[in-house]
A and B are shown apart, each in its own frame.
Chain A
Amino acid sequence: MLRRRLNRWFGGEDRRVDSRTIYVGHRPCPANEVFIPPKFCDNRIVSSKYTVWNFLPKNLFEQFRRIANFYFLIIFLVQVRASFVCMPTQTVISDIIFFKIRTSWLPLVFLTVLICSQGYEDWLRHKADNEVNKYRVTVLEDGRRIQKESEKIKVGDVLEVDEDETFPCDLILLQSSRDDGTCFVTTASLDGESNHKTHYTVPDTERDVESLNATIECEQPQPDLYKFVGRMHIYKNNEEPTLRSLGPENLLLKGATLKNTQSICGVAVYTGMETKMALNYQGKSQKRSVVEKSINAFLLVYLCILVSKALVCTTLKYVWQSKPGQDEPWYNEKTLKEKETNRYLNMFTDFLSFMVLFNFIIPVSMYVTVEMQKFLGSFFISWDKDFFDSEIEEGALVNTSDLNEELGQVEYVFTDKTGTLTQNNMEFIECCIDGHQYKYRDASSEVDGFCVTDGPMNTVQQKAGRVSVVEREELFLRALCLCHTVQVDGLMVDGQVVPPLQEQRGFIASSPDEIALVQGAMRYGFTFLGLESKTMKILNRTNDVEMYELLHVLNFDPVRRRMSVIVRSISGETLLFCKGADSSIFPRVKQEEVEKIRMHVERNATDGYRTLCVAYKHLTPEEYDQVDSGLREARLALQDREEKLMAVYNQVETGMNLIGATAVEDRLQEEAAETMEALQGAGIKVWVLTGDKMETAKSTCYACRLFKRNTELLELTVRTLEYPGKRREDRLHDLLLEYHKKTVQDGVGGNSLTKNNINGATLSMVLNSSSENNLHDYKDLFLQICQNCTSVLCCRMAPLQKAQIVKMVKNSKGSPITLSVGDGANDVSMILEAHVGIGIKGKEGRQAVRNSDYAIPKLKHLKKLLLAHGHLYYVRIAHLVQYFFYKNLCFILPQFLYQFFCGCSQQPLYDAAYLTMYNICFTSMPILAYSLFEQHISIEMLLENATLYRQIGKNAMLRWGPFLYWTLLGVFHGLVFFFGVWFLFSNPALQDNGQAFGNWSYGTIVFTILVFTVTLKLALDTRHWTWINHFVIWGSLAFYVFFSFFWGGVIWPFLRQQRLYFVFANMLSSVSAWLVIIVLILLSLLPEILYVVLRKPRGPYARQVVL
């Protein structure tokens, strides 16, 4: 790709408009007559969402996108406005008004708090932005060093960056303090690779940055971290400008940190929001949980019910009134004002009055309770001592409490590899030389650190006797010491013998397992001392320094999957050492050697180790000359350079002798494999998204048992796409179809075992192909394949690609709930993209933690977080939501039914105090306690049986089925309450002294039954009775009784009507009332008891019973 585009560039036939020209140091170049300073965006970073000006409207808009908030606003307006405008509404309200206005304020207060907290958060973001934007950087201007604020950097400025500083924008490296024109950079915060990467200066610019006169043409900013195309024109003394091509190796990315280099100079090419890092990050959007969506759906249903109830009542009212004598009998005349009001206005206000009367069906208090539940409930996560990690002395951190229940709904887990699954800490485990296994134990316990655990020779002494074995060993170790691109950190004194105890010596390499190998060799007595002017020095076992002249490095590339070095020893021998993946080495060595090693390699791979095979070859001077010339020629080639180099590599890396194999362990995080297994057992699909190489990632997947030996791997990589005679796109198409057939269309049995490997470059083809070749089903195909695999591995992902994958899955059919786990800044975009983002409090800074919804110290904590906490939270909140809708339905239904018996006159059945207190005091605490403490299955049980997690998958408790059940239950209860009492009141003389009860007694009896029934219903549902539950449930019933006595026992001077005066006490003095309350409560609870009893105890229940 890059080549092709470069060709296009140099060919000049397709001059792209979307390129930018940068004048280094803002110096006009001779070629251009007029110097027009181009306009680019400044280096300011804006991550905040609002400004002072747009905060209120924008935030309000976002708030009212929630249906509930909008509804409450409307109801509030109706209630407040109505009291000034419409009479009938006003009177209804004044009937219910007592606390009503105050409770209507409640959501408004709540809203204000929400808005304030969001404002505060945004202020914090502003502060963080400012901190970054005001960071001092050094700019070279006309030979002087000037301190500037970071935000003032302009494209074209030449900057100086010191060691361990972060680059403030994307720079082209011009000058390095290192002699060889390189600098080392770590991009941990960008792509999670913590190793050091080498970047190169543009040739011819190192010396004279101050007077450099050059322009840079490069492409417009794009998010791909590994892609950069540009060229530099260097003007010298009116000579013809020299042209240098620029690639990603010249570009230093914002966010990366300079390492092991004193300082560098570079010219800014992309600034501010156009840097690759900024393009890779997305704003934090408000996440809403699936429960919240369900609530909204239910809310709509209840809104419909509410509106239809109001409509029915309004209609009936006018039907009823049309009968002569009904509308205005002599005993009940209208006021003058009522008579004068327009009939249609009356109808409208009647409708509004009914809305107000029934509006309790939409539980305002539910939102308050849900928020409280989430807020308080999230403390259990941060309190959990199982999440406490003694190493970092921290527990879990909850950043958003909105998503607690989402943890119980996860279907896809996207995990980062480096730092998340693995500790990113390579360790040399064992090697195998000539079929003998050498396992490193403790250097001190053995004379030379070797321990032969199998093979023909069992003791060192015996082994030493066989010269050939020792020779092979030494050859192998030399190969390990020579065949790499590791650099030694720190200064080495030439020729001085260094004691071999320098374990802590710093090595720098682009791949951590190279370091592990060199360190491994060091333990066995061969220490790599460093590379100095093409000479590699090795300290051997006898403390002699061996010198090798490094002739060529045949670089590693993912297609060949091996690398080689050609060295010349002092004795003049020319040797080629090669190491690489078994699959790429075995065909290139003498076959008789292979079998001995293959067994070891395979076993090591099964253990999850990363294996490499090492081979060597003697080169005769003639051979070497041939190779040397071939390589030189290829390197100078202008066209197809890579292909030509490859051909030479392949030519020389044949007929080698296999010496042995190594096994390096990429240390997994504690219990990573167990965690992954548990997640898979819970029916969660685990996708590994990593920026790392495929081989590395694959071995990790094997190690943590995401991939198993007997499973089929479907690979989709650049390598598998290389197919003779076909364009990549066609091949991709074929492969996709083939895999699709395998996974989707073929039998169900097989597909559960397939895994998928995807490579970043391929992915971008998959995702972008749609526009290119009209085969827009690539993405769907790909998705279908992946979704049918048990686990998916995506390698070489740029941060944005990770987010794209997450987004793709998130938006796929059924919109599954996704969770992203990561520890580095490169995971931030996927953490933000997923429904739930989990940050690991790892070593790579705090980016991920800060952007996550939950942060845990270790990956292993994910298991408990999902299986126990997530499960419980989901069950709790789902029950909370259903219960709230239920209890308000059976609260309001009698009120609605009463309208049929009072001429649809909006007469409330219950007293205002009851109407208000019902949700606030009488029934809110038990459900809150339930939703905080319920453990329908114990935590241990949940952790033991991961499959339990599947029971609540797909929002099982908040689907329409359960909703319908609860609604029907509410309707049934409402009917029982109302008509039970209605039958009783066919003769209202219920006291033993013949006195009769009135309408408030009716309401109070219904209300008493109601409060007791809904509370006892909750008691029936409670599986986990702590003392708090007991206290709250019985306490709130007692409080109801106490309150009723109290409320009815006093003539309240502030009340206009003493409606409930001694109503409750009189009710209790009537035996009939007692009897009806008891029988109706029992009747209401019967179906519930039956349901609980008849529900088949599922696995864990049955076991619990048995236990």
Chain B
Amino acid sequence: MMASSYNAKEEDGHHSGASSGTGVSKNKKPDNTAFKQQRLPAWQPILTAGSVLPAFFVIGLIFIPIGIGLYVTSNNIKEFEIDYTGVSSDSPCYNCAKNFTWNTTEPCVCTVNFTLHQPFESNVFMYYGLSNFYQNHRRYVKSRDDRQLNGDLSALTDPSKECEPYRKSGDVSIAPCGAIANSLFNDTLVLYYVDSNNSISEIPLVKKGIAWWTDKHVKFRNPAGNGNLTLAFKDTAKPVNWAKPVYELDPLDPENNGFINEDFIVWMRTAALPTFRKLYRIIQKKSGATPTLPNGNYMLNITYNYPVLSFDGRKRLILSTISWMGGKNPFLGIAYITVGSICFCLGVVLLIIHHKYDNRNTSADIPS
């Protein structure tokens, strides 16, 4: 600064300069390294019409067949969907839906008949679908205690605050706590095949393998209680809206009871969108040539426990076969075909442009 102009002698004292960069040490030539001189060997790609053209064609040629394949696959998937909410008065579940009360001892049962016009050949997956159900609402999503669900004993009796207002029932802590667990989907769906003789046969539904393996085996664990779930949960209360405590979810199968009940685990994986489906049961393909679900009449027996009309929700049953890409969804096929065609068209356009540009380029180069 100006003050220092007094001393002509002070040639190189302190640098009053700012924070940084006073990199060079005195009397030292900067290193002549490629890095410091910004001369690192470098690949310098230049995207031109010429180099991108083939890529476009290749992408187009790959994507369009994939898209077609996906589209066909998706179309081959058989899917049947039926709404059993009971909104309209002619619906079989109208009464159940209308007269719903929480504190009934006698469950309301209704039966929905439907016909499959095509046989479902391979394994059939049975989903329940809910609409206008905000499982992704923030207050809802966070309302769980993964520690408790993982069998943590301290969390069992003292659940996380996130579970409010489903944390305690009176003074007793709820297990499993939280809004998600509390609103567990508890309709029971039983499917019957009505054959041509009008004889009714129940279709066996497999309730295992519907949840992620890691969830069932690692993330969800029952609290330790020497194999006796009733004992393990003895200091807890059942969720307010549940009819029975968690250790009675599947009393017959200890591997599917308590927190590791697969229906429960599936429910606990909150859906992304307000309209969603969750896997309910699997109908295994029988050996032999008989289709899993032959075409014909079916009867769906619903134990109607789950009210959705209060928030204008809908309940559906979905029967679907599955391919390697999952359930039926034409979107991927269409997307691939679209992107593939766009690339192909662009390839053509670019070819023209490239051709023209090339001409211009060379003609421009000649005079120079």
Interface residues of A (CB under 8 A from B): 45-47, 91-92, 94-95, 117, 121, 124-125, 127-129, 131-133, 135, 150, 164, 166, 168, 189, 255, 257, 277-278, 281, 284, 325-326, 329-336, 374-375, 378-385, 387-388, 390, 393-402, 825, 828, 845-847, 850-851, 901-903, 905-908, 933, 935, 939, 980, 982-1002, 1020, 1023-1029, 1051, 1055-1058, 1061-1062, 1065-1066, 1070-1072, 1075-1076, 1079-1080, 1082-1083, 1086, 1089-1090, 1092-1094, 1097, 1101-1102, 1104-1106
Interface size class of chain B, counting residues whose CB lies under 8 Å from the partner chain? 35 or more
CB distance from A122 to the nearest CB of B (A): 10
Q: Most chain-A Cβ atoms within 10 A of its Cβ — which of B29, B279, B327?
A: B327
A-B contact pairs, 22 of them (CB 8 A): A91-B142, A125-B3, A128-B4, A128-B14, A133-B3, A330-B241, A331-B183, A380-B36, A382-B30, A383-B24, A384-B36, A393-B29, A845-B8, A850-B15, A851-B1, A902-B134, A986-B329, A1056-B160, A1062-B212, A1071-B325, A1072-B329, A1104-B46
Tell yes or no: B363 within 8 A of A by CB: no
A995-B331 in contact given A128-B1, A1026-B42 (Cβ < 8 Å): no
- Contact of A1070 with B2 in the complex, beta carbons under 8 Å: no
A128-B3 in contact given A383-B31, A383-B36 (Cβ < 8 Å): yes
Q: Which residues of A contact B304 (CB under 8 A)?
A: none
Q: Which of B147, B278, B332 contacts A1075 (CB 8 A)?
A: B332
- Contact of B38 with A325 in the complex, beta carbons under 8 Å: no
Alpha-carbon distance A451/B117, docked complex (angstroms)? 117
- Contact of A901 with B324 in the complex, beta carbons under 8 Å: no
CB distance from B161 to the nearest CB of A (A): 9
Alpha-carbon distance A906/B270, docked complex (angstroms)? 15
Q: Which of B19, B52, B140, B307 contacts A332 (CB 8 A)?
A: B140
Alpha-carbon distance A1092/B312, docked complex (angstroms)? 50
Q: Which of A255, A847, A1024, A1092 contacts B42 (CB 8 A)?
A: A1024
Q: Most chain-A Cβ atoms within 10 A of its Cβ — which of B146, B182, B326?
A: B326
Tell yes or no: B282 within 8 A of A by CB: yes
- Contact of B272 with A997 in the complex, beta carbons under 8 Å: yes
Alpha-carbon distance A1076/B331, docked complex (angstroms)? 9
**0/1 string, B328-368, CB within 8 A of A gives 1:** 11011001100100110010001001000000010001000
Tell yes or no: B252 within 8 A of A by CB: no
Q: Which of A326, A394, A1025, A1062 contacts B26 (CB 8 A)?
A: A394
10 closest residue pairs by CB, A with B: A399-B17, A331-B183, A398-B21, A989-B327, A382-B23, A47-B1, A1002-B272, A325-B311, A378-B21, A994-B125
Q: Which residues of A contact B32 (CB under 8 A)?
A: 385
**0/1 string, B79-96, CB within 8 A of A gives 1:** 000000000000000000
Q: Which of B10, B42, B127 contacts A1025 (CB 8 A)?
A: B42
Alpha-carbon distance A750/B310, docked complex (angstroms)? 83
Chain B residue nearest to A390 (CB atoms) is B29
- Contact of A1058 with B141 in the complex, beta carbons under 8 Å: no
Alpha-carbon distance A128/B29, docked complex (angstroms)? 29
- Contact of A998 with B179 in the complex, beta carbons under 8 Å: no
Binds A, one of B106-114, B189-197, B214-222, B230-238: B214-222
- Contact of B322 with A939 in the complex, beta carbons under 8 Å: no
Q: Which residues of B contact A1029 (CB under 8 A)?
A: 42
Q: Which residues of B contact A384 (CB under 8 A)?
A: 30, 36-38
Count how many pairs of residues, one from A and one from B, have CB atoms less than 8 Å apart in the complex: 392
CB distance from A403 to the nearest CB of B (A): 10
Interface residues of B (CB under 8 A from A): 1-8, 10-12, 14-24, 26-32, 36-38, 40-49, 52, 59, 63, 66, 70, 123, 125, 127, 133-147, 150, 160, 162, 164-166, 179, 182-183, 209-212, 214-215, 218-219, 241, 266, 269-274, 276-279, 282, 307, 310-312, 320, 322-329, 331-332, 335-336, 339, 342-343, 346, 350, 353, 361, 365
CB distance from B280 to the nearest CB of A (A): 10
- Contact of B38 with A398 in the complex, beta carbons under 8 Å: no
Alpha-carbon distance A47/B20, docked complex (angstroms)? 21
Q: Which of A332, A980, A1001 contacts B134 (CB 8 A)?
A: A332
Q: Which residues of A contact B26 (CB under 8 A)?
A: 393-394
- Contact of A393 with B276 in the complex, beta carbons under 8 Å: no
CB distance from B226 to the nearest CB of A (A): 23
- Contact of B14 with A127 in the complex, beta carbons under 8 Å: yes
CB distance from B135 to the nearest CB of A (A): 8
- Contact of A330 with B310 in the complex, beta carbons under 8 Å: yes
- Contact of A994 with B327 in the complex, beta carbons under 8 Å: yes
- Contact of A1023 with B339 in the complex, beta carbons under 8 Å: no
Q: Which residues of A contact B19 (CB under 8 A)?
A: 117, 121, 375, 401
- Contact of A1075 with B273 in the complex, beta carbons under 8 Å: no
Q: Which of A117, A381, A988 contacts B18 (CB 8 A)?
A: A117
Beyond A95-B142, A987-B329, A1090-B346, 20 additional contacts (C-beta under 8 Å) are A45-B2, A132-B3, A325-B311, A379-B23, A385-B32, A385-B37, A397-B22, A847-B2, A850-B16, A902-B134, A988-B271, A990-B325, A990-B329, A992-B322, A994-B320, A997-B272, A1057-B142, A1075-B336, A1086-B339, A1086-B343
Alpha-carbon distance A1013/B129, docked complex (angstroms)? 33
Alpha-carbon distance A895/B329, docked complex (angstroms)? 24
